[in-house]
Amino acid sequence: MRIVQWIALAVAAFAASAAHAQSAAEFPAGTVRLVVPFAAGGPTDVVARILGELLSARWGGKPVVIENRPGAGTIVATSAVAKSLPDGHSLLVATNSLLINPAISHSLPYDTAKDFAPITMIATQPVALVASKSFAPNTVAEVVAEAKREATNYTSPGPRGVGHFAGEMLKQRAGIPMGNFTHINYNGSAPALTDVIVGRVPLMFDIWHSSRRHVESGALKLIASASGERLPGAPNVPTIAEAFPGFEVMAFNAIVAQGGTPAPIVDKLSADIRAVVASEAFLERTKNLGINAYGNTPAELSAWMTREIARWKDVAQAANIKAE
């Protein structure tokens, strides 16, 4: 009897494996949704639409649709994908919020570590620390000294985002007193940049592509790169990491599917998306968006996400940042 049961289990396992292999070979079986957690027209949406069009072409014209689901700090879109069927046909275009939200909230409608299958990174964007022309400090060391001497405000494109957390991490790494480096909340990069340009707020952590034209026009001055490398177009300006080793902040877009998506489909999705991201067509169409096209394996993305979630939890706890 045990032999019969063993044979039955083996046959079932083989059949499941064959079904997964077959489904991967035939994937996608229908329309694939790229769920964007922001309204149409923003940078993440633009990258998603380029990716979707080129993926559709790679898949012989099978439809790839963009579904914009803004709201609740990307939680609306993220939750929708987490609750979809684990068949690879609903994919989240993830941003930094996917990793920051679990650092500041204990009541998310999903488990970031368990409910998603990392597919691949598709793009990164460097982050810069820029300042009003009227702000006296010109280097990271001078900014830190100023903030230690007296209260100094900074801003970013929005509260509890990567720019906000970059400032908190600098405060912690540099030993700036807790009340001396305060984030001023704005809803979006444009109004924040406007107030930095006119000097209402002295400092801002922003996507370099967004603030670069204001630096080049002389409306703002560049203090440092918050990313691990010096910025394109500003090779003589140092990174924050040169003063505080290990400091590295970047914006990113990655693709994740539902947890439980069969491994063969995860692997096929990753291979196909990485091929598109590395293609001349993708590089040509995104060359003016300020992104670095970037593809990695599911295992590499998973390990990086785990490290990032832990890092932002440490920053959030030290700064007592919680979701409102």
Instruction: Give residue-wise pLDDT tens across range 11-38.
Output: 444 444 444 444 678 899 999 999 999 9
Query: According to CATH, where is 3.40.190.150 located in the chain?
Result: 30-124+251-319
Instruction: Give residue-wise pLDDT tens across range 166-210.
Output: 999 999 999 999 889 999 999 888 999 999 999 999 999 999 999
The string over 13-36, giving b where at least 16 C-beta atoms fall within 10 Å of a residue's C-beta and e elsewhere, is eeeeeeeeeebbeebbeeebbbbb
pLDDT for 324 equals 63
Query: According to CATH, where is 3.40.190.10 located in the chain?
Result: 126-242
- Per-position DSSP letters for 241-292, written without gaps between them: GGTSTT---EEEEEEEEETT--HHHHHHHHHHHHHHHTSHHHHHHHTTTT-E
Residue corresponding to tokens 């998506």:
261
Instruction: Give residue-wise pLDDT tens across range 50-87.
Output: 999 999 999 999 999 999 999 988 999 999 999 999 99
Q: Which of 268, 138, 253, 148 is nearest to 203 (CA)?
A: 138
The pLDDT of 302-313, averaged and rounded, is 96
Fold for domain 30-124+251-319?
D-Maltodextrin-Binding Protein; domain 2 (3.40.190)
Question: What percentage of the chain has pLDDT greater than the value 70?
Answer: 93
Q: In whole angstroms, what is the distance from residue 82 CA to residue 65 CA? A: 18
pLDDT for 77 equals 96
pLDDT for 16 equals 43
The architecture in CATH of the region 126-242 reads 3-Layer(aba) Sandwich (3.40)
